């Protein structure tokens, strides 16, 4: 006796279909953005003191390509006993299978098999400056204590530096 039941059923199904179409369109837009990102723009940002230090470690822990390059790492880099942050990084790197390629200005010591000879970019040798390439980010650390760094977002710069180092 309910003559409106079929109409309500159809309206309910039409509304569900509309919501599914909206969700699919949103996902399609996100996928298109991921597949065709905008041209990278170099953005320089100064990282200083505690906030910058925290941002630096967060960026390390969010690496996407599973590859980072460290040029002129400090003597304590990779030694978990140095600080809790280094320990967390080493655990994260091993657990997430992040491949870390290290370059040093001088000949590597015999007890450091992960270090490779580094003969380019002589400017980084002064005063323990470190260059870190993470995905499409380039971080120039000029001082670790107190922490001073500059972050540049530029995939072109990273590609150029990797080409020089290879």
Residue 136 has pLDDT above 80, yes or no: no
Predicted pLDDT at 110: 46
Per-residue pLDDT tens for 52-92?
899 888 888 887 778 888 888 888 888 989 999 999 999 99
Distance CA 49, CA 59 (A): 15
Predicted pLDDT at 39: 52
pTM of the model: 0.61
Q: Secondary structure of the chain in the HEC alphabet?
A: CCCCHHHHHHHHHHHHHHHHHHHHHHHHHHHHHHHCCCCCCCEEEEEEHHHHHHHHHHHHCCCCCCEEEEECCCCCCCCCCCCHHHHHHHHHHHHCCCEEEEEECCCCCCCCCCEEECCCCHHHHHHHCEEEEECCEEEEEEEECCEEEEEEECHHHHHHHHHHHC
Residue 151 tokens read as: 């972050």
Per-residue pLDDT tens for 100-110?
888 876 554 44
């Amino acid at each position: 006796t309910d003559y409106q039941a079929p109409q309500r059923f159809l309206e309910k199904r039409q509304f569900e279909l509309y919501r599914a179409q909206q969700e699919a369109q949103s996902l399609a837009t996100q996928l298109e953005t991921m597949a065709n990102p905008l041209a990278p723009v170099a953005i320089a940002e100064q990282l200083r003191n505690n906030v910058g230090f925290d941002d630096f470690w967060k960026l390390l822990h969010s690496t996407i390509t599973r590859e980072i390059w460290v040029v002129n790492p400090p003597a304590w880099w990779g030694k978990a006993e140095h600080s809790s942050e280094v320990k967390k990084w080493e655990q994260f790197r091993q657990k997430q299978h992040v491949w870390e390629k290290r370059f040093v200005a001088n000949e590597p010591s015999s007890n450091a098999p992960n270090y490779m000879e580094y003969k380019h970019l002589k400017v980084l040798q002064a005063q323990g400056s470190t260059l870190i390439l993470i995905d499409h980010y380039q971080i120039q650390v000029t001082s670790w204590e107190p922490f001073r760094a500059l972050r540049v977002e530029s995939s072109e710069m990273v590609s150029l530096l990797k080409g020089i180092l290879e």
